Chains A and B, each alone.
Chain A
Amino acid sequence: MDKYLEMIRIRFLMMLAYRTNYYTGILIYGINIGAYYFLWTAIYSGKEEIQGLSITQMTTYVAISWMARAFYFNNLDREMAMEIMEGKVAVELIRPYNYLGMKTMQGLGEGIFRLFFFSLPGLIIVYFVFPIQITLKPSVWGLFAISILLSFFINTQLNLLTGITTFFLYNNTGLIRAKRVVIDLFSGLLLPMSFFPGWAQGIMKFLPFQGISYIPSMIYTEGFTHQQAIQAIGQQFIWVIILLIPIQILWVIAKKQLVIQGG
């Protein structure tokens, strides 16, 4: 376990090594939240509520989903693709640890870094600029915390899955990009699920994506009742378990037919 904790620390150091990335990141998230805020005020334009969400709830939803995204988002798929394409994965395989586990820990290190140095200060700034509602209920915070941890796992698992496909496809840049758009759209980051047409919502219920952004944001904005929130977390948890299966299977196959590229 020690080594996995150490990996989180190393990732922290690596994030600190690239300060410019960090500052531009804050800027990009700020712009995004601002843009969506103005977009939604235009859409609401005087209406009390749409699909059961008030304008304040909507703004909070946007701010919270972007801040949560800072935590769950990572580029593990792209990193894995690079490591596999450049043959660096050979070095990973001569270490006495689980490659995928280590990757997950790197993602977690990155997430925790952004949560503390990025999301929290960012949220405070956003709080003063836009009319959002910061809840004080510990039960909501508690459920939200569990929920974003699970969204981190779902998102990371999808990234690992996409990353592993590099073993078979050798170049999967297109797939990585497609996955990113699908997640941003279907996870409820750009649009809450309740805004999708009924049939689409029906399909989405059977996909893991809404566990990434929609569920934690709805829990935080109290768009869910307590009962619904617990159910939604249960759903996220089930997805975490289900996604382990294809990852494990693909990983075993990948190792068998591994070709180290570049000698």
Chain B
Amino acid sequence: MKNAIEVNNLRKEFKAYSSRSGLAGAFRDLFTRNYKIARAVNDISFNVKQGEMVGYIGENGAGKSTTIKMLTGILTPSGGQIKVNGMNPHKEREKFVQTIGVVFGQRSQLWWDIAVQESFRLLKKVYKVTDEQYDDHMNHVIKTLDIEPLLDKPVRKLSLGQRMRCELAAALIHNPPLLFLDEPTIGLDVLVKLKIREFLKEVNEKYNTTILLTTHDLSDIEALCERVIMLDEGNIIYDGALKNLKDTLGDGKELQFQFLEKVDLPAVKKLTAALPVKWEHDEKEQIFTANMQNNDELISQLIAKIVAAFKIKDIKINETSTEEIIRNIYEKGAVEVG
């Protein structure tokens, strides 16, 4: 199967200015400024096949958005090669963007002051979509996303969830084979999130659309993507199946305790000092969470110790969540998957 995205040694550097301190420093800044080269994306390479749904994750400032902006032809790379849909995004921008759809969760691409349908109409002209294509494709999209009643409202009157659904529809007007979603579910409630996920799955199945998704909400990735690419400080630290990651690294258990009486964290820590356990404490809910290896013996020992010392209100045993796994990876800064 052909590759939708081919990235080779991609690099992006920014000049970062730093201000000197104080008034004298400010005057010196008027004439010469200090700057250093910051590398946002550091020689990364990866390929994405047509029809794949890939999660692109990383902490804030890891270089996700910068990569997306280079892949969509907005930013010029400082080095390396990109080929998306068989084209160089920056060189053939106008022809290239015809073949992609982009949703930026944090900025609107609809026109703020006018009704949604007017934006759609303009985009339809911009992407040279014929009436038949539009009716055939968009009627379905509008129905699935349930935005029919929103079409005659100006964008500024829509709620975030309503707007996001319209944004998604707008990005799909020309039915692009490749869809970039930059934090599409940011700030949305669970119902809208589910609807959007369902919809994305459907689009992917129906049109074999490639989807590259960045998000901080790992449940999005779990629901949609089989493959994740993980970025840290501009480097790819993991590229592979999400399942592998969980199987290899998710071999821990998570125990949650709630106590009847007030208990403080040091006391709990002291009690279990002999065991390889990592404790966390949620102040508000008074939940104590213990992360440990998936070892029945150890778990029993821990529970025995806790129960002997404190009165228990509630106890839960969970598999380590993806979030926990990812956090561990970031703390270690690397992934070794067998």
Which residues between 94 and 120 of chain B lie within 8 Å of chain A, taking CB atoms? 94-95, 97-98, 100, 102, 104, 106-109, 111, 113-114, 118
Which residues between 55 and 104 of chain A lie within 8 Å of chain B, taking CB atoms? 86-88, 90-91, 93-98
State which size class the interface on B falls in: 20 to 34
A191 at the interface (CB under 8 A from B): no
Task: Tell me if A94 and B94 are in contact (CB < 8 A).
Answer: no
Our pick among B104, B113, B127 for the contact of A91 (Cβ within 8 Å) is B104
B121 at the interface (CB under 8 A from A): yes
Of the A-B pairs whose beta carbons lie under 8 Å apart in the complex, a sample of 20, sorted by A's number, is: A3-B126, A3-B128, A6-B122, A10-B122, A13-B113, A13-B114, A14-B111, A14-B113, A86-B107, A90-B69, A90-B74, A91-B109, A93-B72, A94-B102, A94-B109, A96-B94, A257-B76, A258-B74, A258-B75, A260-B75
Additional A-B contacts beyond A3-B128, A7-B122, A94-B74 (5; CB < 8 A)? A6-B125, A10-B122, A93-B73, A97-B126, A256-B76
Instruction: Give how many A residues have a beta carbon under 8 Å from the other chain's beta carbons.
Output: 27
Q: Which residue of B lies closest to A97 (CB)?
A: B126
Please report the C-alpha to C-alpha distance between residue A13 and residue B109 in the assembled complex, in whole angstroms: 17
Please report the C-alpha to C-alpha distance between residue A49 and residue B185 in the assembled complex, in whole angstroms: 70
Residues of chain A with a CB closer than 8 A to B51's CB: none
Our pick among A3, A17, A91, A256 for the contact of B125 (Cβ within 8 Å) is A3
B250 at the interface (CB under 8 A from A): no
A263 at the interface (CB under 8 A from B): yes
Residues of chain A with a CB closer than 8 A to B109's CB: 91, 94
Please report the C-alpha to C-alpha distance between residue A89 and residue B38 in the assembled complex, in whole angstroms: 23
B256 at the interface (CB under 8 A from A): no
A18 at the interface (CB under 8 A from B): yes
Please report the C-alpha to C-alpha distance between residue A259 and residue B154 in the assembled complex, in whole angstroms: 30
B35 at the interface (CB under 8 A from A): no
Task: Tell me if A94 and B72 are in contact (CB < 8 A).
Answer: yes
Please report the C-alpha to C-alpha distance between residue A259 and residue B17 in the assembled complex, in whole angstroms: 13
Task: Tell me if B93 and A93 are in contact (CB < 8 A).
Answer: yes
Contact flags A1-15 to B (C-beta < 8 A → 1, else 0): 011001100100110
Residues of chain B with a CB closer than 8 A to A95's CB: 97, 126
Residues of chain B with a CB closer than 8 A to A10's CB: 111, 114, 118, 122
